[in-house]
Amino acid sequence: MRKLCAILLLTAGAASADPVGITKEMMSATVQTPDGPVEISRIQDPANAVTGEWALTSRPCPEFCIQPMTPAEGVTTVGELELIAFLQDPAAKVIDGRIRPEFEAGTIPGAISVPYTEAADRLGELGCVADFEGFECGEDVPAVALFCNGPWCGQSPTAARRMIEAGYPAEKIFYYRGGMQVWRALGLTVVPGS
């Protein structure tokens, strides 16, 4: 009987636990992806923990060197809430700057894969026109938010610098420095890249 009471108390306690929201007012956010709408929310298990490679904190530099808050002059650094707003804005683009196998292993819903090695060459997909010295990017190009693996990952900062050198306006580039490591640490939705 004691065991049954203990189980019922534990079950009741788990059921009455406060929900894990994105903010106090926002439990989830729906974003459109090429595969249809995806709901971004946080994992509802308060005991959830980051494991595996995402839990590693101390890898050798180089190549795992802490990145600056701003990868280039004119670029704006954003957090998770701003990134979710970007994902919900049909005019904006969220770019996963990691190499393709990392994107395929798991990404932020609605992100498109533009590996940092290709970023400067794919500005035509963002409305820029190729010219002899790079690209001509008018004022109507979309705002883009770039991310990679986290504060120690140099892929999206490199992509931002290469895009600017090729002609993309720095003020249209936003940098989610937290990347996949912080996104996962917050228990936010991750989907396989396609």
Cα–Cα dist 98/156, whole Å = 7
Fold of 19-185: Oxidized Rhodanese; domain 1 (3.40.250)
Cα–Cα dist 107/147, whole Å = 10
**pLDDT at residue 166, rounded to an integer:** 96
Each domain of the chain, given as residue ranges in start order, spans 19-185
pLDDT at 13 over 60: no
Query: pLDDT tens for residues 163-188?
Result: 999 999 999 999 999 999 999 999 99
Which residue in 16, 12, 23, 34 sits closest to 191, CA to CA?
34
| Banded model confidence at residue 194, pLDDT cuts 50, 70, 90 | confident
- What predicted TM-score, i.e. pTM, was given to this entire model? 0.89
pLDDT at 30 over 80: yes
pLDDT at 139 over 80: yes
Q: Which residues pair with 188 in a beta bridge?
A: 42
Cα–Cα dist 143/174, whole Å = 7
Give, for 12, the enclosing helix (H) or strand (E). Answer: helix 2-15
Mean local confidence (pLDDT), 140-166: 97
pLDDT at 1 over 50: no
| Banded model confidence at residue 17, pLDDT cuts 50, 70, 90 | confident
Cα–Cα dist 80/74, whole Å = 20
Beta strands in the chain (DSSP E): 28-33, 36-41, 76-78, 93-96, 112-113, 129-131, 134-136, 144-147, 173-176
Q: Determine which of 22-26, 52-56, 80-84, 97-101 has the lowest per-residue pLDDT on average.
A: 52-56
Mean local confidence (pLDDT), 127-139: 92
